[in-house]
Amino acid sequence: MKLHREGYGIIITALITFVLISLLNYYFLSCYPILFSTGQVLLLIFLFLIIQFFRIPYRINPFGENDIVCPADGTIVVIEEIMENEYFHDRRIQISVFMSPLNVHANYYPISGIVDYIKYHKGLFFVAWHPKSSTDNERSTIVIKNQNGNYVLFRQIAGALARRICYYSEKGQQVSQGDEFGFIKFGSRIDIFLPVGTRIDVQIGDKVKAKLTRLGTFE
């Protein structure tokens, strides 16, 4: 396991803050052992939560060309057929993955292919499970076309805590399933839009893992 580069600055700031507050804690509360110990435990928990948020576990993607791999860790909160109005302008199957602050927040390509479309949208910061978060929140949209002519659209969506969406794709880029394409800082969500008729392998409420869970298969 390693730490994501997007977290380096935040982790260094957290470490400095931990040291400074620990010194203050010792100076003012060292004569009160219970208060001093409680303060240090809370500081350690805070530091642990910051560091674990930016963890990147080592995983091997075991899936093939017709499989759609989950792009993020989290919980399936939506599976429904809807009208997708940004790129396809037709009906698609939407699968939404909610990421809590305890999940790994790196994002990975669900299929291999060519990046056909990228767009970043400024927006609001509804909680990530709010129905309007998909269309009104800060978000980025990426579309991949694979060698068989199948398209997958996936959308990073900022949540109430997230204030920065990071993505590294470029239009026309050749990408591989399971490679990292971005990161969302703190609570967030990813929507994936699949062709109607795709075989879906997950259900609402399922706990999913990036690169290790298959969302579905192209028919």
| CATH code of residue 75 | 2.70.70.10
Does 188 participate in catalysis according to the annotation? yes
Whether residue 132 is predicted with pLDDT greater than 60 in this model: the reply is no
| Catalytic residue selected from 96, 133, 134, 188 | 188
Q: How far apart are CA 29 and CA 188, in angstroms?
A: 38
Q: How many domains does the chain have?
A: 2
As a whole-number percent, the residues of the chain with pLDDT over 70 amount to 90
- Token reading at 99: 């990421």
Same domain, 100 and 50: no
Residue 118 and residue 193 in one domain: yes
How large is the average pLDDT for residues 122-141? 66
- Which are the contacts of 119, defined by CB distance < 8 A and separation ≥ 6? 86, 140, 141
Mean pLDDT of 167-172: 93
Q: What is the pLDDT of residue 160?
A: 60
Residue 67 has pLDDT above 80, yes or no: yes
Q: Nearest to residue 170, comparing CAs of 209, 110, 118, 107? A: 118
Round to whole Å and give the CA distance between 99 and 101: 7
95 and 6 fall within a common domain:
no
**What is the rounded CA–CA span in Å between residue 192 and residue 95?**
5
163 vs 152, higher pLDDT? 152
Q: Is the pLDDT of residue 52 over 90?
A: no
- According to the model, what pLDDT value does residue 162 have? 56
Residue 51 burial (CB count, 10 A): 15
Q: What is the mean pLDDT of the chain?
A: 89
Rounded to 5 degrees, what angle do the CA atoms 200, 209, 107 make?
100
Asked if 30 and 122 sit in the same domain, the reply is no
Confidence check: pLDDT of 131 > 60: no
pLDDT of residue 127: 58
**Enclosing domain of residue 10:** 2-56
pLDDT at 126 over 80: no
Whether pLDDT at 135 is above 70? no
Listed in sequence order, the residues at least 6 apart from 211 whose beta carbon sits closer than 8 Å to its beta carbon are 59, 60, 61, 69, 70, 108, 178
On whether both 133 and 49 belong to a single domain, the answer is no
Average pLDDT over residues 128-145: 74
Nearest-5° Cα angle at 51, 49 to 59:
110
Query: Are residues 91 and 28 part of one domain?
Result: no
Residue 130 above 60 pLDDT? no
Is 62 inside any structural domain?
no
Give the residue ranges of DSSP H helices in the chain: 8-29, 33-53, 133-136
**CA 132 to each of CA 125, 128, 157, 163: distance values in angstroms, whole numbers, following the listed order:** 10, 9, 11, 17
pLDDT at 5 over 70: yes
- Whole-number pLDDT of residue 161: 60
Model confidence at 7, pLDDT cuts 50, 70, 90, reads confident
Q: How far is CA 120 from the centre of its chain?
A: 16
